[in-house]
A and B are shown apart, each in its own frame.
Chain A
Amino acid sequence: DAGVTQSPTHLIKTRGQHVTLRCSPISGHKSVSWYQQVLGQGPQFIFQYYEKEERGRGNFPDRFSARQFPNYSSELNVNALLLGDSALYLCASSSRDRMLVQETQYFGPGTRLLVL
């Protein structure tokens, strides 16, 4: 089985622009989470979606939004980009049957975003 996939792998944007990042979970997984990892730090939670509904949101401004599609893939959107949004954006999936907190989260390779 393929793991979690993310696209694009790298992205360069300028301040004020908008960006869309995409994630495909492991086949059968219904939960997708997004994390932001700034260089030298641990990942910070942005969103969790399960069965196409938002189930959790981290401490990020409203410029950040996400959605999950019927096939369980997900998009993360960031509007009005700031220099501080430069980071590695990670997607993780889990939960074949229910939103089980006991399950392992599997992470994708990430999208490296650079805002100039």
Chain B
Amino acid sequence: KQEVTQIPAALSVPEGENLVLNCSFTDSAIYNLQWFRQDPGKGLTSLLLIQSSQREQTSGRLNASLDKSSGRSTLYIAASQPGDSATYLCAKRGIQGAQKLVFGQGTRLTINP
């Protein structure tokens, strides 16, 4: 079973909608969970980092929540814009193997004008 799962793999919505991206993970013994954005063929841009003791983090139109007990995190994007189109990846840093981030496969988001 995948350690980190992101569903759906792809999502297409019209501009202006609020949307939620999902991330689930096995083993709730984590230090933190990080959300990234990746544009085609590019590196990763860090969006939000949630420590295990936190429930949510906000940056502008983005809000990330963390529920360790259920092994879930969500990334909420308000008032989506075409420039938000990208692949969004979540990654956990487990207490076991803390040297590494374990990534999901990403959700490819398309915002239609």
CB contacts under 8 Å to B, within A21-47, are: 33, 35, 40-45
Pick out which of these stretches binds chain B: A65-73, A74-82, A98-106.
Answer: A98-106
A16 to B: closest C-beta gap in Å: 26
Assess the A109–B105 pair: CB atoms within 8 A. no
Interface size of B by Cβ–Cβ distance < 8 Å?
26
Assess the A107–B43 pair: CB atoms within 8 A. yes
Chain A 41-59 interface 0/1 with B at a Cβ cutoff of 8 Å (1 = within): 1111100100000011010
Assess the B100–A58 pair: CB atoms within 8 A. yes
Binding site for B on A (CB under 8 A): 4, 6, 33, 35, 40-45, 48, 55-56, 58, 88, 90, 92, 101-102, 104-110, 112
CB contacts under 8 Å to A, within B39-57, are: 41-46, 49, 51
Chain A positions within 8 Å of B43 at CB level: 4, 6, 90, 107-110
Pick out which of these stretches binds chain A: B11-19, B63-71, B77-85, B91-99.
Answer: B91-99
B36 at the interface (CB under 8 A from A): yes
Taking A48-B100, A56-B97, A110-B43 as contacts, is the C-beta distance between A40 and B31 under 8 angstroms? no
